[in-house]
Amino acid sequence: MRYLRLFLVFVFVVFQNSLSAQNQSSSRKAPAQETLQKLSTMYYLIDNFYVDSADLQVLTEEAIVAILKELDPHSAYISKKDVEKANEPLVGSFEGIGVTFQIFQDTILVVSPVPGGPSDKVGIMAGDKIVKIDGEDAFGKKVTNEYVANHLRGKKGTKVTLGIKRGNSDELLDYEVVRDKIPLNSIDAAFMLDKNIGYIKLDRFAQTSMNEFKESLAKLKAQKMKSLVLDLRGNTGGYLNIAVELSNQFLKKDMTIVYTEGDKSKKQIFKTDKNGDFTDGKLVVLIDEGSASASEIVSGAVQDWDRGVLIGRRSFGKGLVQRPFNLPDGSVVRLTTARYYTPTGRCIQRSYEKGSEDYYDEMTKRMKHGEFYHSDSIQFPDSLKYSTLLSGRTVYGGGGIMPDIFMPVDTTFATKLYTDLIRKGVFNTFTVDYVMANRESLLDEYGDFENFDAKFDVSDSMMEDFKKLAENKGVEWNEEQFERSEPMIKLQLKALIARNEWDMEKYYRIVLKKDKVINKAMEVLTDSNEYRKILKR
């Protein structure tokens, strides 16, 4: 009953401005007109005769959310105050002081200033603690991510005064920072895995992604790259047009990338408009259960055209297209308007007939069914069987993209101890403390990342300190589990120290050495016969 009332409120608000026009339109069916009139009448009755006063604005927002939830899992409402924040990851920038930060013991800790950004220009450094903002104390329980965003972000050109605590000095350093537009990079890493194989980790499909990708590709080509690993694991998607442009980089002119179609949306075919910049080199695309939407467009096009080898686990299965509609108060509805289909005609959207909660419980069900560990636990009916466009390989629709080579979740180092160390934030706390205490000595001893990577090892004394910290944070230390997880624990510590000392790319350059999916990709790309065999060339 509550959702019905909310539904009536929402429908009236959304449609009241268009009701008269719809009544005059001969193309509108009478039942639709009568329904809208009925709803508007009901809204009038609630507004004038309901026993209690009602906050119509709140009811309307709740109604929108409830209605969209009944349609499909991906139609969404964004309130006016949240529109800008929701668009940030895809627009690729925000306005602020330009630091990567984390809240460390109730204090704002600068992990790193954005190179060339406002904070970098005035001399704020990694490891600095922001303890005052515009003269106000900026530490304690009030300091949350929302607090930081509200106080450090702001319009380009506005100023903020920061009190910085650096190292062990008791004296605060005062900085005046002029806010500016800060880029949000969508590529986390781009480097050579060996002398022939390049690697690009794409985090999302944002407005800036193609410029970033082209720069990364050019950099790797300059290093004599012959083969590429494109890592889309955990990439939840983004803009459709960016997915089309990225796919175009691997395909030749006039090849279908994807098409969209819906009951009220005409079929729209997206094709390559020219030869891409990487059409001939060997290609591996990595996907997993976190790869969705735009990631599935790219991987579907690559697979359907036999352009490259897909390695990993079955992708998320989101084949619905959302179109944004502005509402009168500045809020936005992202409404599903079409389904997208891969070049062979596969719709890889999985079923949501049992509702949104069941839909989003899919990953838990996949795990329980053993799909993360065994490929034979995945069953596709013959009705969803398709053939690739060049070699005629069998692929499937109806619930995500199935890779050409299945790689199970790596449980080699998985223990309760390792999970607890992550959950309790022990890795993060230890490595932040370590870099803050040893930043200068690390640079003095190793000079650059390459030297650090080659020579640094986590010492026994470091592990003793790590164990003490873990126990202080309530982690029950189990020696048997530690022996099993020790290689991964040490690898993570080294990688996080590198990230805090340099940048995120250095983290990937360390952890990927033990990544079995990466190792499989390199094996396939190195063995030309295996690569051709998979693609039936």
At 309-326, the pLDDT tens digits run 999 999 999 999 999 999
Task: Retrieve residue 247's tokens.
Answer: 């796919």
At 359-369, the pLDDT tens digits run 888 888 888 88
Q: Which residues contact 241 (CB under 8 A, 6 or more apart)?
A: none
Q: Is there a catalytic annotation at residue 119?
A: no
| Domain spanning 187-322+335-409: CATH superfamily | 2-enoyl-CoA Hydratase; Chain A, domain 1 (3.90.226.10)
The answer to whether residues 206 and 184 touch, using CB atoms and an 8 Å cutoff, is yes
pLDDT at 23: 45
CA distance 23 to 19: 6
Q: Give the containing element (helix H, strand E) for 530.
A: helix 528-535
CA distance 37 to 26: 16
Per DSSP, helices labelled H in 175-267 are: 209-222, 240-248
pLDDT at 252: 96
The confidence band for 208, taking pLDDT boundaries of 50, 70 and 90, is very high
The answer to whether residues 177 and 119 touch, using CB atoms and an 8 Å cutoff, is yes
DSSP for 253-264, written as a single string: TT-EEEEEEETT
pLDDT at 382: 76
pLDDT at 1 over 80: no
| Domain spanning 93-183: CATH superfamily | PDZ domain (2.30.42.10)
At 126-169, the pLDDT tens digits run 778 999 999 999 999 899 888 998 899 999 999 999 999 987 78
pLDDT at 9: 47
The confidence band for 214, taking pLDDT boundaries of 50, 70 and 90, is very high
Q: Which of 304, 306, 404, 503 is catalytic?
A: 304
When comparing pLDDT for 503 and 198, which is higher?
A: 198
CA distance 340 to 348: 8
Q: Which residue has the tokens 């026009």?
A: 21
Q: Is there a catalytic annotation at residue 304?
A: yes
The answer to whether residues 432 and 109 touch, using CB atoms and an 8 Å cutoff, is yes
pLDDT at 28 over 90: no
Q: Which residue has the tokens 């349609």?
A: 71
The answer to whether residues 228 and 531 touch, using CB atoms and an 8 Å cutoff, is no
Q: Which of 293, 295, 315, 331 is catalytic?
A: 293
Q: Which residue has the tokens 């193309």?
A: 27
Q: Which of 129, 201, 318, 506 is catalytic?
A: 318
Count of Cβ atoms closer than 10 Å to residue 280 Cβ: 10
CA distance 204 to 89: 8
Per DSSP, helices labelled H in 239-292 are: 240-248
Q: Is there a catalytic annotation at residue 506?
A: no
pLDDT at 77: 92
Helix (H, G, I), strand (E, B) or coil at 472: helix
